[in-house]
């Protein structure tokens, strides 16, 4: 018997709904923080009730630092992939129809 037989979708759909909501809130939060300069981030941290927020300032700043590092890596990977694709297309344009057919890319 499979682990999930589709008979009761309520738990799965609730989890999926919550996951999507968390992702949306995370995106909004990231865009907001990205719009701030370092002084504004410092002011935000100084005026935040961290007990009410349920996290510490150091947790937020650690999460933000980690996100920026991951984002830098992702952007670099995307730039490299785009450059590689552009170079590939440039080379493919030089091939004749027959050469493209031989390579199976016609």
Q: Structural domain boundaries of the chain?
A: 56-106
Answer for the pair 30, 67: CB distance below 8 angstroms, yes or no.
yes
Answer for the pair 75, 82: CB distance below 8 angstroms, yes or no.
no
Q: Mind listing the pLDDT tens digit for each residue in 60-75?
A: 889 889 988 999 999 9
| Angle at which helices 38-46 and 57-94 cross, to 10° | 150
**pTM, rounded to two decimals:** 0.62
pLDDT of residue 2: 45
Average pLDDT over the chain, rounded to whole?
A: 87
Share of the chain above pLDDT 90, in %: 56
What average pLDDT score do residues 33-51 get?
Answer: 91
Q: How far is it, in rounded angstroms, from Cα 25 to Cα 20?
A: 9
pLDDT of residue 100: 92
Q: Per-residue confidence at 12, pLDDT binned at 50, 70, 90?
A: low
């Amino acid at each position: 018997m499979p682990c999930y037989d589709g008979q009761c979708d309520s738990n799965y759909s609730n989890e999926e709904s919550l996951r999507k909501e968390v992702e949306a809130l995370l995106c909004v939060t990231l865009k907001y923080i990205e719009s701030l300069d370092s002084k504004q981030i410092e002011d935000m941290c100084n005026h935040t009730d961290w007990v009410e927020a349920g996290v510490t300032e150091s947790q937020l700043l650690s999460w933000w630092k980690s996100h920026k590092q991951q984002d830098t890596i992702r952007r670099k990977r995307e730039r490299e992939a785009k450059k590689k694709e552009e170079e590939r297309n440039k080379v493919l344009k030089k091939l004749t129809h027959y050469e493209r057919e031989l390579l199976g890319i016609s």
